[in-house]
Structure 1
């Protein structure tokens, strides 16, 4: 799908997606122990309440800045995005206000419009994909035409012949639903030369990442940092002594485990992956991110 050109002076519609803070979620928990904790005087509870205040101020700044600029906008809670997924592409820009988790969530619903990340609390969140915060948002949105854009590859998933709706920005984990159990699977990797390798694997799970995601979970597993322009994927069978990461153009995974699962960009999106099921992991449509990620990647050797 062609990427829509950015418009500032003529920007008509912007979608603002926000997260709920830990304090918001915990104070409404049905568990009294959780409610007592978040309203208590421990250092962690105080930090959570302070972070909530910072996040609220950031969201108010984003909305207020758009109001003053005369830009039509709609706000949506990230957990309710699926309810308006068909409306996302009618906007000129999507803004994720939160951290990387919020950015990843929004990216699953974005195809042809750019995505801007705003770190809602820089004191507690690294926000790798976020190039703006409360202090810089007005300047970033005001000069968005001149702001560099980064195009990154994503992963497409086809499970038992059905294409899954989410395009993967960071990584997927294929594993047993019980973290203490092993996962059995047959892994077929397509190499750049057109050949393929097949092997039967028993591991703690298969981790697969994009080039953009190679500085996230895969990096902590000892993986290599891939060039952002790479369209290949990196994979790693966890929990095997001496195992190394490898690159592939595509993967096929056949489950030999009754209680397997596929986790997409974290723990929120999960698909059943039972015995006999086949997952094809391929190249998906790219995503245009507002800002340059290269400077942030300098922290990763």
Structure 2
């Protein structure tokens, strides 16, 4: 019998301390009501999804997102996430060969770019994909990722969406040296975004970058680099550039309290003066169930 890991997030309402909930209910009742309604809808969707999955002859292993550990994926055949992109991205960091299926549990309030289906609207599609998976005829899409090394040491979490390198304090200037194609560039700015094609429509785009495809005209996989709010005017071709799979990007920190953010805020690494970050295409894609 197959084992499927069902991973779901805590709602925002779960994360608010009781004293703050009390204040919200008193001072901002509409905000409190909206947050609580989303909370109820999310857990109702989780409950319905678990009931829906009972029709399949598999063992379901339930895990909360913040409790995930590498050992949770031992002898697991499929990972299903319920939430939005944040839950999908967090779970993806643990996966090498195991396919993943993202379900947007509350599409009216949650971003689900990586989610194959929304629930409950996508029940028929979900049933089809899971049935095909059990028949060993899965509909899979490979998503390339980024590998990072910090001071020569490989970081275990492959990046699917984007990387932000910046000062810990958002009001401070980010300073670093960028090395690419045997050239060096010194920057003072508010940070640098590094994005895959999948992440190019998210914060990368909001910061002024352009959405791009997985490969260039030569068929080489590529990722984008965007200098965020440069202190001095720089050439257009420097503000946004591409790195292909045969190249390696290096960033050397000149910051006292720099940080590296991997696929959002949940995974962070210190990046202090003299540290070297290397970024390249990861050798193994993430296998997403559903096109």
Question: In 2, Cα distance between the equivalents of 1:39 and 1:123?
Answer: 25
Tell me the residue number matched to 1:256.
254
CA change 1:265–1:35 in 2 (3 A) is: farther
Mapped to 2, the partners of 1:239 and 1:164 lie a distance apart of 28
Across the aligned residues of Structure 1 and Structure 2, the Cα RMSD in angstroms comes to: 2.0
Cα deviations across residues 86-119 of structure 1 (Å, max 9, x unaligned)? Answer: 3325211111100111111111111101111111
Q: Is the 8 A contact 2:145 2:160 kept in 1?
A: yes
Q: How do residues 181-192 of structure 1 correspond to structure 2 at under 5 angstroms?
A: 181-189=172-180
1:85 aligns with 2:70: yes
- Show the counterpart of 1:215: 201
Distance 2:88 2:117 in 1: 12
Change (3 A) 1:169 1:35: farther
Structure 2 unaligned blocks of 5 or more:
none
**Which residue of the partner structure matches residue 287 of structure 1?**
286
Q: Does 1:247 pair with 2:246?
A: no
Are residues 238 and 134 of structure 1, via their aligned partners in 2, closer, same or farther at CA, if it must alter by over 3 Å? same
How far apart are 1:136 and its partner, in Å? 4.2
Q: After TM superposition, where is structure 1 displaced by more than 6 Å over at least 4 residues in a row?
A: none
Contact 1:15 1:76 in 2 (8 A): yes
Offset, 1:41: 6.2
State how far apart, in whole Å, the 1-side matches of 2:281 and 2:67 are.
27
Are residues 238 and 14 of structure 1, via their aligned partners in 2, closer, same or farther at CA, if it must alter by over 3 Å? Answer: same
Distance 1:128 1:89 in 2: 27
TM-score for the superposition, normalised by structure 2: 0.87
- The number of residue pairs the alignment matches comes to 272
1:14 aligns with 4
1:198 and 1:41, CA in 2 relative to 1: closer, same or farther beyond 3 A? Answer: closer
SS in 2 for 1:178: coil
Give the TM-score taking structure 1 as reference length. 0.84
**1:295: which partner in 2?**
none
Identify if the C-alpha distance between structure 1 residues 41 and 201 changes in structure 2 by more than 3 Å, giving closer, same or farther.
closer
Q: 2: distance between equivalents of 1:72 and 1:33?
A: 39
Query: Which of 134, 142, 149 does residue 151 from structure 1 map onto?
Result: 142
